[in-house]
Amino acid sequence: MTSNPTPTDLEELQASALRELEQAASSEAIEQWRVAYLGRRGRLTQVLRGLSSLAPDERRTAGAAANRVKAVLEERLAGAEENVRLGRLQAIAEEGRIDVTLPGRHVPVGRLHPTTQMVREICDAFASMGFQVVEGPEVEWDYYNFEMLNIPKDHPARDMWDTLWIDHVDAQGERPMLLRTHTSPMQVRTMQNAEPPVRVVVPGKCYRYEATDATHEWHFYQVEGLAVDEGITFADMKGTLYEFARLIFGSERKVRFRVDFFPFVEPGAEMAIDCFVCKGGGCNVCKGTGWIEILGAGMVNPTVLEGVGYDSSRYTGFAFGMGVERIAMLKYGIDDIRLFYGNDLRFLQQF
């Protein structure tokens, strides 16, 4: 271009610039174009520089025209850059495209085992009545599991618990250790370590040397309960267990106590609730009787109290013990206790 640009020269420059810009598809191409036209040695820049050698009035018209061209080119440049940027965003969006109308993917969520849930529910019921939750060892001494509970060696009452003995023989040739057959040894351990008032519940695993069937497992959970203080009566026991039954099985429950025998309580009782399925009319669950036995209980035997050093003329108390799986089976209509130990997700996922 000469140092004296005519309006036609400028028009041609603008036209070719815009044509070239149209072809520039990448940001690199656009940058090259910018350098070629608007850069320090670019074609339009040269024109603008050449204006200084013109006569003043020529300079004014040519300068104004050149500046208009410059404004057009700059505006188109910005537009072209924006287009490339949008194109890039669109490509990214296209690549990571998600269909928001698809159903969500299921995330498997863990949960507590039904036995654990039941243990917690039972303990919560008693905690609401002021009972503390304590735990004890599963490998236990004969001393706590039997002897201190008024079940001497060779006494026929031991037949109530088929025992898994630990294969360890002491100096007397006896096997003093076992897998606890019930949570009752914790009655003794608790009283040995505390003065009345005592109010505890003891959840835990128990073991028995038993063939399994729909209602028997060789391992299972129990929750034990113990309350000892001055002036505790059988009526306190009934009231406490009644409230428990209502909390777990519904507020309209009725309870029934009948005489039963356990060496560590006197008198001993078995508690039943009215069948919540048939409301007492008689069905499968209650085996036609209208009643469902749910736990053993009784007033703590004075022999047991004296054994731990409590004055049985001053203190009385009650104790109870229940099978956790049995409570869950009744509550949820489960017909086989072995399901609790089957690790079958089809069962577990229902809770």
> What are the distances in angstroms from CA 93 to CA 83, 86, 87, 145?
15, 10, 10, 70
Query: 222-261 mask for ligand PHE (x: CB under 6 A)?
Result: --x-------------------------------------
- Residue 157: partners with Cβ closer than 8 Å, 6 or more residues away: 151, 263
| Residue 118 in the binding site for ligand PHE (CB under 6 A) | no
Under 8 Å between Cβ of 295 and 320: yes
DSSP class per residue in 218-272: SEEEEEEEEEEEET--HHHHHHHHHHHHHHHH-TT--EEEEEE--TTEEEEEEEE
Regarding 296 and contact with ligand PHE (CB under 6 A), the answer is: yes
Q: How far apart are CA 304 and CA 146, in angstroms?
A: 11
Mark the segment that binds ligand PHE (CB under 6 A) among 85-93, 116-124, 244-252, 317-325: 317-325
- Is 298 a binder of ligand PHE (CB under 6 A)? yes
The distance of closest approach from Cβ of residue 294 to ligand PHE in the complex, given in angstroms and rounded to an integer, is: 11
**Residue 346 contacts by C-beta under 8 Å, 6 or more apart in sequence?**
none
Cα 302 from Cα 213, distance rounded (Å): 36
Nearer to ligand PHE, 34 or 180 (CB): 180
Distance CA 56, CA 212 (A): 114
203 lines the binding site for ligand PHE (CB under 6 A): no
CB of 154 to ligand PHE, least distance (A): 20
In angstroms, what is the minimal distance from the CB of 337 to ligand PHE? 15
By CB under 6 A, is residue 126 in contact with ligand PHE?
Answer: no
Coil, strand or helix at 205: strand
Between 14 and 150, CB nearer to ligand PHE: 150
For ligand PHE, which is the closer residue by CB, 37 or 161? 161
- For residues 296 and 307, which CB has a smaller minimum distance to ligand PHE in the complex? 296
In the complex, what is the shortest distance from the CB of residue 134 to ligand PHE, in angstroms, rounded to a whole number? 15
By CB under 6 A, name the binding residues for ligand PHE: 182, 184, 224, 262, 265, 296-298, 319-321
The residues annotated with a catalytic role in the active site are 161, 182, 208, 222, 265, 319
